[in-house]
Homo-oligomer: A and B are copies of this chain.
């Protein structure tokens, strides 16, 4: 079914929705500013509104409709009870500026989450302010910069970033007034210690690293890496995007990481919502604690309070206390596992990734040998010989009922396919996915590649012309 755009629905808006409130006069002063032309928002009746958006929803693939193995995105199941509790009136309909004594319940949940994130990361001081991972990177770098400045090291403005890093890393560094130097990965896809040493100097502010890295490999030299950076006078920023591989099993703080952002929409299963909202709390060690953003949630006696005054703080990075609704869900996810089961998140996530790797490794090129952690990296090298590229494989997976893996990232290999199954997928689903991948490999070898180039054929739309979209951008519907 072709659902038209709202603006194409063939009628005037029906009678206005009945609304509560004061149906009275507005002030004469305000009337002078009345809008002259209607905004032209096409109101639909409630039946039409619901049908429009329900139909749109039917064109989406989500975790609830199928496997979603996007590498580095940690698309795990989002518990329904979390959606229930976040809508409790005392959590949904509260104002950030209402008196604190009338909001202790929500503050308790936030305070508890801070504690838990500190435990999980091994970095005991946590801010919930950052609204997303990249925002956490900015906040973390601000703290690092402040700490270095306090040491009188304000010349340290260089941030080392492996070439396998997420693109947000260099972008965040730039936003924080620092510049980045790219570290070339070693032959095993990991940080090359020599390369690292070669770039460490007295201008180095920090190394930003993701561990496990975006090739799914654990940086086994982590202790030495951190030591080298610290010895050189820098700090180590951890990109927590891949924390799912470690939760309950090992802690970045114990390894020498100074500062880590935690994508709660990944590790702690708050829904991705088609692109957000997420949450990017940052956990830091004692060195960086003085610089945490404000407001901070602190306990004074039995009372929790939002503290804004702090001389050493890097200041606020958001205009509100944070993505509270997202954090309520994260607290609920951790509560469900608890002390007893939390490590099973990492265990099953890593088990699943290695299982997929081992089922596919003979038919797809594996650029880096060895165990993977929560995600595994393949390339299209074998399929290239048959004229098939990563993009074709991805689109063919759609026809076979799966969301594709992350493609062409990390940039350190050609034709990357990064697969992250997460802990919430069954062996049955993994097998079905691997069977589909093997079917594609078979088709390539058999030279039966037409369906691969044409794919996808089954969904509501076929391959979309991105060049056309970018060349002459149409971002709004004309009136």
A positions within 8 Å CB-CB of B: 1, 9-11, 18, 45-48, 50-51, 54-55, 58, 63-66, 76-77, 79-80, 336, 401, 424-428, 431
Chain B residues near A401 (CB-CB < 8 A): 1
Chain B residues near A427 (CB-CB < 8 A): 11
Q: A46-B79, A50-B80, A77-B50 are in contact. Are A426 and B65 (CB under 8 A)?
A: no
CB-based contact B1/A47 at 8 Å: no
Q: A51-B65, A65-B54 are in contact. Are A428 and B77 (CB under 8 A)?
A: no
CB-based contact B45/A9 at 8 Å: no
Chain B residues near A51 (CB-CB < 8 A): 63-66
CB-based contact B77/A46 at 8 Å: yes
| Distance in Å: Cβ of A189 to nearest Cβ of chain B | 30
Give A336's nearest chain B residue, CB to CB: B18
| Distance in Å: Cβ of A427 to nearest Cβ of chain B | 7
Per DSSP, are chain A's interface residues mostly helix, strand or loop, or mixed? Answer: loop
Chain B residues near A48 (CB-CB < 8 A): 426
Which 9 A-B pairs rank lowest in CB-CB distance, beginning with the nearest? A47-B77, A47-B424, A54-B64, A10-B428, A1-B401, A50-B64, A11-B428, A51-B64, A48-B426
Q: A47 contacts which of B11, B50, B425, B431 (Cβ < 8 Å)?
A: B425
- Besides the known contacts A9-B426, A18-B336, 7 further A-B residue pairs in the complex with CB atoms under 8 A apart: A11-B427, A46-B80, A47-B424, A50-B77, A54-B64, A54-B65, A55-B66
Chain B residues near A431 (CB-CB < 8 A): 10
CA distance A54 to B64 in the complex (A): 7
Chain B residues near A425 (CB-CB < 8 A): 47
19 contacts between A and B (CB under 8 A): A1-B401, A9-B426, A11-B428, A18-B336, A45-B426, A46-B77, A46-B79, A46-B80, A47-B63, A47-B77, A47-B425, A47-B426, A50-B64, A50-B77, A51-B63, A51-B66, A54-B65, A55-B65, A55-B66
